[in-house]
């Protein structure tokens, strides 16, 4: 997470607080924490209305449906998708596994990009994961014999970023060339895999379970036959408690510490703490367990709320995700990190969020003492990890917004410099002394000086950027922008206007959301960060000035929509809960309000109501007076007089779901399409609908599309009967020429071939080359050239 601040010399110039900045961890960290407190769970809020329950079965069924859809290779100049870039901007690395059998070989688990392998200690990366497998990765481990084990599904919860589930445990016996699924289907998320070094047939797996549905495969699982069969040896106190990590005593592998986390997410509660949260200890390989209680803390007195667990309800409900680590060189040294999380059931009123305490044991976990405040910043539920230098038990790292290092067993702390923010993974290469690896929201790093501050080098090849949006210049198709999770608003050219292949940031974004290029002059570019903090630039992004305070709204979505009028790109639309319009490229004084609040009135009268913002806006290419807009609470609107009056469309076929995008036919303003998010588990709501009468009537044209949420729709300008949609499971196309209320059964196909099974959040059509661009959430940007003669 990058914090956003105003330039002290020019408050209209937005700047980003970079983790490389020597002041990072003070001012920037505090700004980051404040921003974090307002986060919405974008994944869930856009997919689940109150009362829904998203199950692992829904996710697996959607994937099966998508896999059964055949490809469409006709109407394409080249049927193969190709990577556009960037390769120099990473994304969230969730786990790191050096190969003990091969010096320099290391495997990475990336949150939504599968598994990557390097044979030269991180200098070069190769994809080691099938394109058609689920790409969300929670854990990767190399067995003593060199086999690679992977747990799919990221244990980290969704916040402003997106996190996805998986479908079990996989193993490769040929260094990632081929894979076999070996069990724990229904686990949804896996946080750790550990082998007994004295008997590698004994394997433990920490299954976190679904973030959305109770029960299923969650807890600690054990296999004594190298994964052929599995037994749950530690079950949570309730159906929402799962295991997130495993700490194993290297001299006594039957001694295990396992953090259990009681957490789930629903529309009105991000419930990330509960009585099931705690640290469990076994000394007999999982046959029996003891829960660590507050009385193990030397300073504990009854009534304290700073410890591990307690029968005191106040303590247990505030106890969030925990981390535990054993010093490899001294198993008597055990460290525990705890976090806080208090939130009312309505979803508001958060207090005591973030770091809670750091504890140290010198007697193998029999007793602990409270150490100094090691706070790494931010909510530790996103990052809760602790690592110990394998050669020095006093040298310990803990993860948060910053990476914190203690050289004296937790007595004093300092930030580790020259790393991106938000830390998730760390490991030491057992074949090379002093080589450490680190993974965070910015990608993969290594240090040859044992992880000391300012000794880290970032990998050069990281083609796993997580994009929300994209846009492409009409004058130069190599000029591309994109909004990236935790990596800002990115552009493919440098300050001299040269496309170099190394993308850089512009606009001062934290999380990059909407990014736009004026189609008539690519020197005019726009950049938006979370909650509609947007800026404009007149020199291709070299300098930017904010225009958010020129707009009027009471609420703004995480991904506040900003759109240019296709008739006149100097006209800019900006939607909070009220639609704003600029007539002069978002300059000061050019804005006016052109709508009332378009969201459900409950969003302002009921403080527990989680929605209430505009999520999409579109102006008709053939008639600038016609505007469509949709909201996160499922309301769809149209105006035929440039916003003077608005009509809410109430066709009963319109779902009560988050509206993701509206697209209007380039020649006929009465023909439009709308897409929705949401897994169709509760009521089989449609995802794609079409109107031919200006919104009075809508026809469901979802046809054979899978239940996966639909994020965008683009109409082929050269063949108006062909449309393309972006979904959580790829890009699909259909011919809708015969679609009407009597014949709504549209047949959809996978568009082209070679695009990985990864969420696609945005599509952009580039007219001069007749090319479709796809912004994926985890595998960077891709493109596909269409056939002009189709």
Provide the CB-side half-sphere exposure for 51 (13 A, CA): 5
Q: Tens digits of per-residue pLDDT, 438-490?
A: 999 999 999 999 999 999 999 999 999 999 999 999 999 999 999 999 999 99
Percent of the chain predicted with pLDDT > 70:
85
- Check residue 124 and give left, alpha or beta (phi > 0: left; psi -120 to 50: alpha): beta
Residue 174 has pLDDT above 60, yes or no: yes
What is the model's pLDDT at position 788? 77
DSSP 8-state secondary structure symbol assigned to residue 368: B
pTM to 2 decimal places: 0.91
Q: Which residue stretches of 361-512 are H helix?
A: none
Q: Which residue stretches of 259-331 are H helix?
A: 313-318
How far, CA to CA in Å, does 106 sit from each of 160, 400, 608?
29, 23, 46
Return the CA Rg of the chain: 26
What is the model's pLDDT at position 47? 64
Query: Rounded to whole angstroms, how far apart are CA atoms 44 and 556?
Result: 17
Tokens of 764: 């952009």
Percent of the chain predicted with pLDDT > 90:
72
Residue 27 has pLDDT above 60, yes or no: no
Yes or no: say if 436 and 450 are a contact pair by the CB < 8 Å rule: yes
Phi, psi of 56 (to 5 degrees): -65, -30
Mean pLDDT, residues 57-81: 88
Residue 11 has pLDDT above 60, yes or no: no
Mean pLDDT, residues 30-50: 47
Yes or no: say if 326 and 248 are a contact pair by the CB < 8 Å rule: yes
Strand arrangement of the beta sheet that strand 722-727 belongs to: 71-72, 748-751, 730-735, 722-727, 710-715
Mean pLDDT, residues 170-177: 97
What is the model's pLDDT at position 316? 43
Q: Tens digits of per-residue pLDDT, 291-339?
A: 998 878 877 665 555 567 654 444 444 578 999 999 999 999 999 999 8
Query: Rounded to whole angstroms, how far apart are CA atoms 333 and 409?
Result: 9
703-741 as b/e: b if 16+ CB within 10 A:
bbbbbbbbbbbbbbebbeebbbbbbbbbbbbbbbeebee
Q: Tens digits of per-residue pLDDT, 637-685?
A: 999 999 999 999 999 989 888 999 999 999 999 999 999 987 644 445 6
Position with higher pLDDT, 502 vs 350: 502
β-bridge mates for residue 258, sequence order? 280
Q: Is the dihedral of CA 630, 636, 637, 638 positive or negative?
A: positive
Of the listed ranges 262-276, 401-415, 670-684, the one predicted with least confidence: 670-684
Residue 160 has pLDDT above 70, yes or no: no
**What DSSP line would sit under 588-626, residue for residue?**
TT-EEE--S--S-THHHH-TT-----EEEEEEETTEEEE
Average pLDDT, the chain: 87
What is the model's pLDDT at position 684? 52
Mean pLDDT, residues 80-102: 96
Position 42 confidence tier, pLDDT thresholds 50, 70, 90? low
Residue 14 has pLDDT above 60, yes or no: no
Position with higher pLDDT, 763 vs 22: 763
Spatial CA neighbour of 64 closest among 708, 778, 677: 708
What is the model's pLDDT at position 313? 42
Residue 511 has pLDDT above 80, yes or no: yes
Query: Rounded to whole angstroms, how far apart are CA atoms 598 and 354?
Result: 35
Position 4 confidence tier, pLDDT thresholds 50, 70, 90? very low
Place of tokens 């929201």: 441
What is the model's pLDDT at position 737? 87
Place of tokens 């552009």: 491
Mean pLDDT, residues 12-31: 31
Chain centre to alpha carbon of residue 378: 16
Yes or no: say if 564 and 518 are a contact pair by the CB < 8 Å rule: yes
What is the model's pLDDT at position 679? 61
- Between strands 71-72 and 748-751, the pairing is parallel
Query: Rounded to whole angstroms, how far apart are CA atoms 470 and 766?
Result: 11
Residue 40 has pLDDT above 60, yes or no: no
Position with higher pLDDT, 681 vs 79: 79
Q: What is the dihedral of CA 316, 318, 324, 330, to 10 degrees?
A: -80
Query: Rounded to whole angstroms, how far apart are CA atoms 589 and 755?
Result: 44
Residue 623 has pLDDT above 70, yes or no: yes
Yes or no: say if 360 and 371 are a contact pair by the CB < 8 Å rule: yes
Q: Tens digits of per-residue pLDDT, 380-389?
A: 778 889 999 9
What is the model's pLDDT at position 304? 55
What is the model's pLDDT at position 311? 45
Residue 318: helix, strand or coil by DSSP? helix
What is the model's pLDDT at position 326? 98
What is the model's pLDDT at position 347? 42
Element of type H or E holding 31? helix 27-36
Mean pLDDT, residues 29-51: 46
Residue 28 has pLDDT above 60, yes or no: no
Tokens of 408: 């004296």
């Amino acid at each position: 997470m990058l914090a956003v601040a105003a330039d002290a010399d020019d408050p209209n110039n937005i700047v980003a607080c970079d983790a490389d900045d020597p002041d990072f961890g003070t001012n920037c960290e505090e700004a980051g924490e404040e921003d974090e407190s307002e986060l919405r769970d974008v994944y869930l809020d856009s997919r689940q209305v109150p009362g829904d329950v998203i199950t692992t079965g829904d996710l697996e069924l959607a994937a099966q449906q998508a896999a059964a859809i055949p490809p469409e290779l006709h109407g394409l100049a080249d049927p193969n998708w190709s990577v556009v870039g960037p390769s120099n901007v990473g994304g969230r690395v969730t786990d790191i596994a050096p190969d003990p059998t091969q010096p320099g070989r290391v495997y990475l688990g990336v949150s939504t990009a599968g598994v990557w392998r390097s044979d030269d200690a991180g200098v070069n990366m190769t994809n080691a994961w099938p394109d058609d497998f689920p790409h969300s990765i929670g854990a990767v481990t190399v067995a003593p014999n060199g086999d690679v084990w992977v747990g799919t599904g990221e244990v980290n919860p969704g916040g402003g970023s997106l996190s996805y589930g998986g479908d079990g445990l996989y193993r490769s016996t040929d260094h990632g060339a081929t894979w076999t699924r070996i069990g724990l289907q229904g686990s949804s998320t896996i946080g750790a895999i550990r082998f007994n070094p004295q008997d590698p047939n004994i394997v433990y797996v920490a299954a976190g379970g679904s973030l959305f549905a109770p029960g299923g495969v969650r807890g600690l699982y054990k296999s004594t036959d190298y994964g052929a069969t599995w037994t749950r040896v530690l079950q949570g106190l309730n159906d929402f408690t799962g295991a997130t990590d495993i700490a194993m005593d290297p001299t006594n592998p039957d001694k295990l510490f396992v953090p259990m986390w009681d957490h789930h997410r629903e529309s009105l509660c991000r419930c990330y703490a509960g009585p099931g949260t705690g640290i469990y200890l076994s000394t007999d390989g999982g046959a029996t367990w003891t829960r660590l209680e507050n009385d193990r803390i030397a300073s504990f007195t009854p009534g304290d709320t700073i410890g591990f667990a307690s029968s005191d309800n106040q303590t247990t409900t505030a106890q969030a995700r925990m981390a535990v680590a054993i010093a490899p060189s001294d198993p008597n040294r055990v460290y525990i990190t705890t976090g806080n999380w208090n939130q009312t059931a309505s979803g508001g009123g958060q207090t005591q969020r973030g770091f809670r305490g750091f504890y140290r044991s010198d007697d193998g976990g029999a007793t602990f003492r409270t150490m100094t405040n090691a706070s790494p910043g931010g909510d530790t539920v996103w990052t809760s990890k602790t690592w110990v230098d394998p050669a020095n038990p006093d040298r310990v790292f803990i993860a948060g917004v910053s990476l914190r290092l203690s050289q004296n067993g937790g007595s004093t702390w300092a930030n580790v410099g020259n790393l991106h923010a938000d830390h998730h993974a760390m490991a030491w290469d057992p074949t090379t002394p002093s080589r450490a690896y680190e993974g965070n929201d910015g990608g993969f790093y290594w240090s040859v000086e044992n992880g000391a501050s300012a000794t880290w080098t970032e990998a050069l090849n990281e083609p796993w950027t997580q994009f929300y949006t994209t846009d492409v210049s009409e004058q130069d198709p190599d000029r591309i922008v994109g909004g990236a999770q935790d990596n800002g608003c990115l552009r493919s050219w440098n300050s001299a206007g040269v496309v170099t292949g190394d993308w850089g940031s512009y606009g001062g974004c934290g999380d990059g959301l909407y990014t736009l290029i004026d189609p008539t002059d690519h020197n005019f570019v726009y950049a938006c960060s979370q909650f509609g903090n947007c800026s404009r630039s007149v020199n291709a992004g070299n300098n930017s000035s904010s225009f958010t305070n020129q707009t009027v709204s009471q609420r703004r979505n995480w991904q506040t929509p900003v759109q240019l009028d296709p008739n006149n790109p100097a006209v800019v639309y900006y939607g909070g809960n009220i639609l704003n319009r600029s007539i002069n490229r978002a300059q000061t004084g050019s804005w006016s309000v052109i709508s009332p609040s378009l969201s459900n009135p409950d969003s302002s009268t009921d403080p527990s109501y989680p929605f209430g913002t505009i999520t999409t806006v579109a102006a008709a290419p053939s008639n600038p007076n016609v505007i469509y807009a949709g909201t996160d609470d499922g309301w769809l609107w149209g105006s035929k007089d440039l916003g003077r009056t608005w009509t809410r469309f109430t066709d009963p076929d319109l779902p009560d779901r988050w509206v993701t995008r509206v697209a209007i036919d380039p020649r006929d303003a009465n023909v439009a399409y709308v897409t929705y998010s949401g897994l169709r588990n509760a009521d089989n709501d449609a995802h794609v609908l079409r109107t031919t009468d200006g919104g009075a009537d809508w026809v469901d044209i979802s046809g054979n599309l899978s239940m996966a949420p639909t994020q965008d729709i683009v109409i082929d300008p050269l063949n108006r009967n062909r449309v393309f949609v972006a979904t959580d499971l790829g890009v699909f196309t259909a011919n809708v020429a015969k679609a009407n209320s009597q014949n709504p059964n549209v047949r959809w196909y996978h568009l082209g071939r070679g695009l990985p099974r990864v969420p696609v959040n945005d599509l952009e059509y580039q007219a001069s080359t007749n090319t479709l661009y796809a912004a994926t959430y985890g595998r960077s940007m891709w493109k596909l050239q269409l056939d002009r003669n189709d």
